[in-house]
Structure 1
Amino acid sequence: MTVRAKKNLGQHFLTDKNIAHKIVSSLQNKDIKQVLEVGPGMGVLTQFLLEDKGLQTFVVEIDRESVAYLHEHYPELGDRVISGDFLKMNLMEYLHGPFSLIGNFPYNISSQIFFRVLEYRNQVPEVVGMLQKEVAERITAGPGSKTYGILSVLLQAWYDIEYLFTVHENVFSPPPKVKSAVIRLTRNKVESLGCDEKLLFTIVKQSFNQRRKMLRNSLKGLVPEIDKVDKSWLSRRPEQLSVQEFVALAREIEKVLHA
């Protein structure tokens, strides 16, 4: 039995076991005893995760054909094969305590997966993910870069992020039209940003949705009294602000909104 890749699920199955092993070996935090794999497909990463007997492996898969395959080929997973949509489920129903996250993430939902990581950031100390190279570069980009954006700022506020290696399209079935990359996120020591996090998210999103505009123009819909914000911020564009500067801006806007 094999599983046919479904275009609507963004499935591209990794076929190179050496790369699969390299991805799994990129998990470094040996203190974490649970791992959740997103979109295991036919288990090319799963087989290496299961080799570590001190690690409890869970997999979440939306494709019923893949779920049946995993039950047949990896019976030791038992009820740790979770059939459902990672983007919608309450993970705390299945995992208790901290867990690492790993996966060959479907291209069409990779950004949404990272937004979920942010929701569970206090339970997820480490993430190793393979995704579209372009998105990987966006997440790891720093200020001043054309690829620096919403995910860069929000993820880097909570995680140290490393671009590990590039993966060629010919090691997938079917081959995608773009290259892939593997990145690692390691939770930093920040417990609180000291600002209204929902407001920060809104500011970052609104700024980058109009990234060519100066902050004075992109944020005036959010802050009617924008001119009460320190003028030194207002003539800048979003890609010119570091993560820490976005946090400082959020604190200042919070004061203006509640004045």
Structure 2
Amino acid sequence: MNDLITRDLDQGLLTLTFNRPDKLNALNIAMYRQFGDLLLAAGEDPHVDAVLITGGPHCFSAGNDLRDFLDNPPSDRDSPVFRLMRIVMGLDKPLIAAVSGAAIGIGATLLLHCDQVLVSRTAKLRMPFAPLGVCPEFGSSLLLPRLLGHARAARLLMGNALLEGEQAVAWGLASELHDDGEQCLAAARQLARRLQSYPQEALRISKRLLKEGGRAELEATVERESQLFIECLRTPEAKAALRGLIKD
């Protein structure tokens, strides 16, 4: 396995770090496959109590690698990106994110499925689906209106609004604000250790109860979004918008 995502297991805490800094941790098809495999293994590994996702102290993820996305567009529900979504939604262990710098596209919608999201003041969340000629994904069209109300959700999903760390906390998309990336990552590890100190089966049952009430509706929404996303990618406007952002 390559090192596009690094894996560190320390006393039950699994830290997964996006490791493509030259591309601002943009996710390509290989990373989607690896990320899914790592999370699937974590869910089945009795030595893993909690999972921490980070891009390091400077950048979480710029979202999809646009060139790779055009060259290898998802074509059905078994595409690596959609497989990853199902694995994330099925994980019953605590999932924590430490976010600094860019969290764009799926780098932002992924956070909606984490149990705790800690951000630094440098965090910048954006969901630029409409400007790219595509539609919302990963359940964001269902989860964001419920979390924020229609108007704020529309600002993000239709208006391409940028949320910095402090505003993300104020809007309820993150639970803690820290001054810089190092502090954010340290605090996320401390939180994970606290969760590890609790009875693990009770913790997992609690997570399942929190999630299961809306699980069927969420899964159906993700399926519907995914199909529409595939259709959008095939349109001339999406292809033109994506190509326009690719730098040689």
Report the TM-score, using the length of structure 2 for normalisation: 0.31
**Bigger fraction of residues in helix:** 2
Report the TM-score, using the length of structure 1 for normalisation: 0.30
Structure with the larger RCO, 1 or 2 (CA within 8 Å, 6+ apart): 2
